[in-house]
Structure 1
Amino acid sequence: MFYGVKGTCKKYQSTWTTNALFAATYNLWAAKIPLIEQNRDAQTIETTGVTTDKKGKRAVMTEKTLFMSNRLQSFGNTTGNAEILESVQYPASYLNKARDTDVIGICNAVLSRAVANATALTAYGVTAAMITDLQASITAYSATLAKPKNAKAQTKTATENLTKLFKEAEDLLVKRMDLDIELFKVSKPDFYSQYKTSRIIISTGGKATALLGNVTAAENGEPLKNVTFTFAPESNGMLKSASAVAVDTMVKKSAEKGNFRIPSMPEGTYTVTVKKVGYKPQVVTVNVANGETTNLKIEMEKN
């Protein structure tokens, strides 16, 4: 609808440009559109790549740590060093399930033992390069920890900005331009008529819109099933204008791979409550635009 209004006003610019009142309001309103577009693009930022990179670096670090732990255990058994044995016996399942900060602590502990016994470990197949590689893998994984959260924070901020910008733009239309267009009803009937037409939101019954969701565990990126998503429409200008569409609260649950899909959804801004037993609940905001597919990606932290 915004693009329709903008196109009409551009077409008849020579008609209203000398009217200081209408021109001032239009310029304020038109300035909101590029800001909406920028935040729309930021809202749909792809965080999957960031999470995949994090998982890959964790796998490399874990593999190198398990190898080093194996060599240290062999060394400890051969020399009868109980202290080393007790400090490096971590099964793969334990490392895979450990929280981010915990797994880094474990890997650093193994690394410390390897550094302290580097000379002796040469006979057990451990080279200086292997110890250096383990250190590098820990550093590389540690550097990824903040990236998914940063991407998520960027998406959240963009969504909050969109809610504010849509309201500001709609207020300018409803409270000023929709009123001031009456100045042209008699003198410029074509402009008046086309403006009124562009302000009508054609209901698609939600068929042209859809939302795709995905939810994963923050600690390891694994998909989470049976996560409940409750979508409550916000009372902003967008939904009020689309009054022809009945907008009700919707509830969806994630499937085996953490995915869910809403094939039909009226456009507007929604408050989304995300819940799963054993995890911290979240509340986010998402904007659904007519004719576009919106992606919602959530990472949940354990209680």
Structure 2
Amino acid sequence: MNTTDKLKLDSYQEVEQVLDKNSGIYESDAPTKGEVAKFTVYKTGLFALGEKMDAPAEWLVVNKKEIKNKLIASLFPFSNNLVCFANSNGNTSILEQVDISKSVLAALSELNLIQYTESCIKIAQDNLAQLTDYAITQESIISLQTDLGDFLKNRTDRLILMEDKKTSNKAFNDLKKKTNQFLKTVLDRSIERYRQSHPDFVNHYFAARQTAKGIQHPYELMGYLTDEANGQVIGEGKVTAEKLGLRVDISPGGTFRFKSFPTGDHRLKIESIGYKTLYVPIRRFQSKPCKLNISLQALPLLEPHEV
């Protein structure tokens, strides 16, 4: 599978884990429960097809070379003996069929090599009684047939595996498209209905869905600060992630960014001159950057004292 497909499966795996962990939320919601079950079937099918697509074939390729070399190693002296037999008997017909150099033999295509080997075996069987003096016996014919059989089996196994991979790839793409459509038009909408009652569940679900996009963000946590009373940008101060040892400055544009920020539950301490210090609890889910819009309350102006 390519990287995009692997990200897609990672996303589906994470989505399934979120749904399983929060199954009590939609347990009594029959339509949503049925949709989740349908998604699980799709996901299971995709993983099974993915395994077929990634089934290793290197061993067959290695075996192909070894088995072909073994076949040629027994075939060339066998055919050379047939050449000697044809020359001694002046049989030009046999000579034309079997006379070949070892380099040309090694360069034959698989089909031509199979055809040539079968031709040599047939000639030997037809003339077995006259071949005793040329080191060709029933046993040597059987040995060559065995080597040819190993070569044929390896070739068949490779063709079956390649065809299976091709078929699995098409089925995977078709099911992936079907699953994407189902999520976008059905399950996503059903889960969205729980945003008011179970916001953490919904946020976690859609964070898992983002995994498939493989989006790279320049930050993992970002905030935008404004004045609670007038909405003006607050362009100075600092933000500290308590207990994490992380701290950033607030930019003149009213933003702060943490390029790297751990998942889980944390608390930010936001400080700016002229404003009340604000403590903000946050929860960041894996695979999704966290973006905050925060308003700070200005400190009351001190009344001047009369002298």
Q: TM-score, normalization: structure 2?
A: 0.60
Give the paired residue count: 207
Counterparts of 2:210 and 2:113 in 1: how far apart (Å)?
56
User: Please, which of 207, 214, 226 is the counterpart of residue 203 of structure 1?
Assistant: 214
Matches of residues 81-230 of structure 1 in structure 2 within 5 Å?
81-201=91-211, 203=214, 205=216
Report which of the two structures shows the higher radius of gyration computed on alpha carbons.
2
1:28/1:64 CA distance change after superposition, 3 Å: same
Contact 1:47 1:151 in 2 (8 A): yes
Structure 1 residues 142 and 195, CA gap change in structure 2 (3 angstroms): closer
Deviations 1:208-255 (A, max 9, x none): xxxxxxxxxxxxxxxxxxxxxxxxxxxxxxxxxxxxxxxxxxxxxxxx
The verdict on how the C-alpha distance between 1:24 and 1:134 changes in structure 2, with shifts beyond 3 A counting, is: same
Query: Structure 2: which amino acid aligns with 1:173?
Result: L
Match of 1:59 among 69, 79, 100: 69
Q: Is the 8 A contact 1:54 1:141 kept in 2?
A: yes
Residues 272-291 of structure 1: per-residue CA shift (max 9 Å, x gap): xxxxxxxxxxxxxxxxxx9x
Seq. identity, %: 20
2:210 is paired with a residue whose SS is: coil
C-alpha deviations, 1:157-189, integer Å up to 9, x for none? 111122122222222221122222232222223
* Root mean square deviation, CA, Å: 2.5
Which of 16, 23, 35 is residue 25 of structure 1 equivalent to? 35
Quick check: 1:44 aligned with 2:54?
A: yes
Distance (Å, rounded) in 2 between the aligned partners of 1:200 and 1:142: 47
Deviation at 1:102, TM superposition (A): 1.9
Cα offset, 1:13, TM superposition: 0.9
Residues 70 and 16 (structure 1 numbering): CA distance in 2 closer, same or farther, change over 3 Å? same
Q: Secondary structure at the match of 1:172?
A: helix
Q: Which of 78, 81, 85 does residue 71 from structure 1 map onto? A: 81
Tell which deviates more after alignment, 38-47 or 131-140.
131-140
Residue 4 of structure 1 pairs with residue 14 of structure 2: yes
Partner of 2:238: none
Distance in 1 between residues matched to 2:91 and 2:37, nearest whole Å = 77
Residues 171/82 of structure 1: CA separation in 2 closer, same or farther (3 Å cut): closer
Cα–Cα, structure 1 residues 119 and 12, in superposed 2: closer, same or farther, change >3 Å?
A: same
* Cα displacement string for residues 29-88 of structure 1 (whole angstroms, at most 9, x for unaligned residues): 122111111011000111222233333333222222211121122233334444433332
8 Å CA contact 1:8–1:194 kept in 2: the answer is yes
**Aligned counterpart, 1:229:** none
Deviation per CA, 1:117-149: give whole Å up to 9, x if none: 323322233333112212222233233333222
Paired with 2:25 and 2:87, the residues of 1 have a C-alpha distance of 90
Q: Check whether the contact 1:65–1:134 (CA below 8 A) recurs between aligned residues.
A: yes
SS of 1:146's partner is: helix
